[in-house]
């Protein structure tokens, strides 16, 4: 029989080295990760029989996010959390429903080995299979309902009636905006880092100015999108699980804000809808307008603002390669 594959997640290098060595000596095939992001990358690309993760991790996310991802990718895997809090087993029933066991620190290899073997020997309850989904998967599936909730909210405010545009023109930016939020949830970035460049957000801001809207409309649209996404998460909390809930809300808020900032950049660097009366001679005006039209076509397919170069460098340097 092949050795059980175990993912050990802890920010303490001594735990990774020491406990990892002990587990390997006991016949486990051990993979280590020192952060939530690294753990999620392993879970997305490999299959595991056991997860042993520290609950409290530095940076974005914690052990519960890792557990949620493992339960989605490997429903039959044994999941154990390490915690320095001796009362953790009494802290919340919601946590205990998501993990098989909680082991308190300081780490005792004997207790961990006993817990792992005990749970590996047990038949997994049927409720575990498919019971938890990644928040990104849920929101991707709910994109249509998010769009409708956003549209209803904007109709109630009446802001989009300030200019004669169709419902399709009102919502045309949402698919890209939601896709980028889903991507951000699947590939976590440091909160507040502004590492992902959004061409769609820049062009949306420029488009709204050409349509004749004021800049506050972009803020109102972002607020409505954030609320619609929060509601979708709340309505699907039984699928997402409490472990992903805090991190999901933080990522949504951060990414919506990042998109808003880029939309405002596009807005500020775009000409307004109205222009002064042109009194140039007709032939000269036609030549100039033809050149302007060609430049505008190029600008529609590229980024127009000086700040975009900064975003592009960050985007190309940080976005995971497919």
Tens of pLDDT along 145-183? 899 888 888 888 887 877 788 888 888 899 999 999 998
- Burial of 48-65, coded b for 16+ CB within 10 Å and e otherwise, reads bbbbbbbbebeebbbbbb
Report yes or no: 98 and 241 within 8 Å, Cβ to Cβ.
yes
Distances (CA, A) of 61 to 5, 13, 65, 191, 247: 23, 18, 6, 10, 6
- Burial of 227-242, coded b for 16+ CB within 10 Å and e otherwise, reads ebbbbbbeebeebbbb
Give 219-249 as a DSSP string. HHHHHHHHHHHHHHHHHTHHHH-TTTHHHHH
Token pair 């038949």 is at which residue?
123
pLDDT at residue number 10? 92
The tokens for 75 are: 């429903």
pLDDT at residue number 304? 40
pLDDT at residue number 32? 94
Pick the CATH number of 5-128 from 3.50.30.30, 3.40.50.2300, 3.20.20.80, 2.30.30.90: 3.40.50.2300
pLDDT at residue number 277? 46
The tokens for 307 are: 């700040």
* Sheet of strand 78-83, all strands in order from the earlier edge strand to the far edge: 29-33, 5-9, 50-54, 78-83, 101-104
Read off the pLDDT of residues 35-52 as tens digits, 9 standing for 90 and up: 888 998 898 888 999 999
pLDDT at residue number 273? 52
The answer to whether the bond into 67 is cis (omega within 30° of 0) is: no
How many helices and strands, by DSSP H and E, does the chain display? 15, 5
* Distance (Å, whole) CA 271 – CA 6: 57
Token pair 């498919």 is at which residue?
130
The tokens for 2 are: 């092949």
Cα 273–274–279 angle (5° rounding)?
135
The torsion of the CA quartet 82, 84, 89, 91, rounded to 10 degrees, works out to: -120
Q: Pick left, alpha or beta for residue 59 (phi over 0 → left; psi -120 to 50 → alpha; otherwise beta).
A: left
Report yes or no: 12 and 54 within 8 Å, Cβ to Cβ.
yes
Give 304-322 as a DSSP string. -STTHHHHHHHHHHHSPP-
Report yes or no: 257 and 234 within 8 Å, Cβ to Cβ.
no
pLDDT at residue number 123? 63
pLDDT at residue number 30? 94
DSSP 148: H
- Tell which residue, 36, 104, 35, has the closest CA to residue 65: 36
pTM of the model: 0.48
Residues of the chain with pLDDT under 50: 88-94, 126-130, 275-280, 283-287, 294-295, 297-322
Cross-strand partners of 129:
none
Phi/psi for 172 (5° steps) reads -65, -20
Token pair 């032939």 is at which residue?
283
Domain ranges of the chain: 5-128, 135-318
Q: Which residues contact residue 143 at a Cβ distance below 8 angstroms, ignoring those fewer than 6 apart?
A: 174, 175, 178
């Amino acid at each position: 029989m092949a050795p059980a594959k175990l993912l050990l997640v802890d920010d303490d290098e001594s735990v990774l080295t020491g406990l990892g060595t002990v587990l390997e000596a006991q016949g486990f095939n051990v993979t280590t990760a020192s952060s939530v992001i690294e753990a999620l990358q392993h879970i997305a690309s490999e299959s595991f029989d056991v997860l042993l993760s520290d609950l409290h991790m530095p940076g974005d996310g914690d052990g519960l996010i890792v557990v949620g991802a493992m339960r989605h990718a490997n429903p039959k895997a044994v999941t154990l959390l390490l915690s320095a809090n001796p009362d953790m087993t009494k802290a919340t029933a919601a946590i205990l429903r998501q993990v098989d066991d909680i082991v308190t620190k300081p780490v005792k290899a004997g207790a961990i080995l006993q817990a792992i073997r005990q749970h590996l020997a047990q038949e997994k309850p049927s409720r575990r299979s498919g019971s938890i989904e990644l928040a990104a998967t849920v929101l991707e599936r709910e994109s249509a309902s998010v769009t409708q909730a956003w549209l209803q909210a904007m109709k109630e405010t009446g802001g989009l009636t300030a200019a004669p545009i169709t419902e399709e023109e009102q919502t045309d930016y949402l698919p890209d905006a939601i896709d980028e939020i889903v991507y951000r949830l699947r590939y976590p970035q440091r909160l507040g880092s502004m590492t992902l460049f959004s061409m769609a957000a820049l062009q949306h801001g420029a488009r709204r100015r050409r349509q004749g809207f004021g800049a506050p409309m972009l803020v109102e649209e972002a607020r409505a999108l954030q609320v619609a996404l929060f509601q979708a998460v709340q309505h699907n909390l039984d699928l997402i699980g409490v472990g992903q809930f805090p991190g999901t809300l933080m990522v949504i808020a951060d990414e919506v804000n990042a998109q808003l900032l880029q939309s405002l950049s596009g807005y500020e660097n775009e000409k307004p809808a109205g222009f002064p009366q042109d009194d140039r001679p007709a032939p000269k005006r036609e030549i100039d307008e033809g050149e302007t039209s060609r430049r505008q076509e190029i600008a529609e397919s590229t980024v127009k603002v000086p700040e975009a170069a900064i975003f592009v460098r960050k985007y190309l340097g940080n976005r995971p390669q497919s």
